[in-house]
């Protein structure tokens, strides 16, 4: 990186970002990434140290891996952390303290996997997969359709988790409404075939998500911000589109913003790709333009391969971020979330801000096998 570009990166990314009572010292966030290093759902000292290393390495905002809310069907692994129970919450208190000591802000991502749950899997082996209509993302029968009591229980579980996060000293929460998990299953026409008030057209399909947001907003103080992670793509359909036009995207975003979303985290596989025709705005750019809310962009930042290649055992080389800087300089979005590049190098943020990109460690798939 040239001196000019180093200064440019510092100017663009070193600016503080504030929303409600949260202040991030810069525009760099750690993206949520499931690591499965929390036996029995309890994050230990190694998890706290893992996040603290990224904060010490210059990350402004840590968004934790997805963590299960208190509902029997919420999870599908005994090694993914949960956000309920005294033991797990004590572990999360340790994470908060560790990150804050290093000058970072931190928010947990709250998660329910819905019908993607594997039957018989931990943490509650007997729990049945549930979703909007008893259908998988591709529309095949799986699990069962949620009753009104199920809906009420899940909404309450998210609200309880949000309140717990504030009690523990977190700086906000993120609701996982992306990638084909439960909240997204209600938004997605392929899995939501309900004929009641929670299904039908695009607006009706936003109701469940909006009710979760509103319940969380009511459960926390005015100083506590709510982030909402969204995506077009699903785990088994990378070309899926919740919204095919900006107008349809507006229909989805408006009730969520009105319910209390403060920041939208727009997940894409490659941040530089335009979302709709006739504009080079990416998804985060469109969401900000339409909703008026701040946005976080994400997707292969600093690497030449997307994250699916990592699951196939492929490594990725370090790449420049000139296009990212161009976009954030014109306020297309407000923050950038960095994923695998931060697994590879906990000091990615500091090295990028100081122009030491030649020292950044490239990502190797074997890095996913340990918490470092």
3-class state of residue 24 by DSSP = strand
Question: And the tokens for 284?
Answer: 């985060």
Q: Which two tokens stand for residue 6?
A: 């180093």
Q: How far apart are CA 110 and CA 159, in angstroms?
A: 10
Identify whether 181 is a catalytic site residue: yes
By C-alpha distance, which of 221, 234, 235, 102 is closest to 162?
221
DSSP of 259-290, one letter per residue? HT--EEEEE-SSTTS-SSTT----HHHHHHHH
Residue 23 CB neighbour total at 10 angstroms: 13
Tokens of residue 298, six digits: 């994400």
Which entry of 181, 198, 238, 271 is annotated as an active-site residue?
181
Q: Which residues of 125-159 are buried (b: 16+ CB within 10 A; e: fewer)?
A: eebebbbbbbbbbeeeebbebbeeeebebbbbbbb
Token pair 């596989």 in the structure block, residue: 269
Judged by DSSP in three states, 47 sits in helix
How do beta strands 130-131 and 144-145 pair? parallel
DSSP state of 41: G
Question: Residue 17 is encoded by which pair of tokens?
Answer: 């970002």
Give the three-class secondary structure for 66: strand
SS3 251: helix
Catalytic residue IDs: 181
């Amino acid at each position: 990186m040239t001196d000019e570009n180093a200064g440019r990166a510092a100017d663009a990314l070193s600016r503080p970002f504030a929303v409600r009572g949260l202040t991030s010292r810069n525009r760099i966030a750690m993206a949520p990434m499931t690591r499965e290093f929390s036996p029995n759902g309890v994050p230990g000292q190694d998890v706290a140290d893992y996040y603290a290393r990224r904060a010490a390495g210059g990350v402004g905002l840590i968004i934790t891996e997805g963590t299960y809310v208190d509902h029997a069907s919420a999870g599908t692994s005994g090694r993914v952390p949960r956000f309920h129970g005294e033991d797990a919450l004590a572990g999360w208190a340790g994470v908060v303290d560790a990150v804050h000591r290093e000058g970072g802000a931190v928010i947990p991502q709250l998660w329910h996997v819905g019908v993607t749950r594997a039957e018989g899997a931990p943490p509650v082996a007997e729990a049945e997969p549930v979703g909007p209509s008893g259908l998988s993302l591709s529309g095949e029968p799986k699990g069962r359709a949620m009753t009104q009591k199920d809906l009420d229980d899940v909404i309450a579980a998210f609200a309880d988790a949000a309140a717990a996060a504030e009690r523990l000293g977190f700086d906000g929460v993120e609701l996982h409404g992306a990638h084909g998990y439960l909240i997204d299953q209600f938004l997605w026409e392929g899995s939501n075939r309900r004929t009641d008030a929670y299904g039908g057209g695009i607006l009706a399909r936003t109701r469940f998500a909006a009710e979760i947001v509103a319940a969380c907003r009511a459960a926390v103080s005015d100083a506590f911000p709510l982030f909402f992670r969204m995506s077009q793509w699903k785990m088994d359909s990378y070309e899926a589109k919740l919204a095919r036009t900006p107008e349809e995207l507006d229909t989805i975003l408006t009730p969520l913003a009105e319910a209390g979303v403060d920041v939208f985290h727009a997940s894409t596989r490659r941040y530089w790709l335009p979302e709709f025709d006739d504009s080079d705005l990416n998804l985060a750019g469109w969401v900000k333009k339409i909703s008026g809310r701040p946005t976080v962009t994400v997707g292969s930042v600093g690497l030449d391969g997307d994250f699916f290649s990592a699951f196939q055992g492929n490594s990725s080389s370090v790449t420049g971020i000139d296009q990212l800087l161009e976009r954030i300089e014109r306020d297309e979005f407000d923050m950038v979330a960095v994923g695998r590049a931060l697994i590879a190098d906990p000091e990615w943020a500091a090295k990028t801000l100081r122009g030491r990109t030649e020292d950044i460690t490239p990502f190797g798939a074997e890095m996913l096998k340990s918490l470092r």
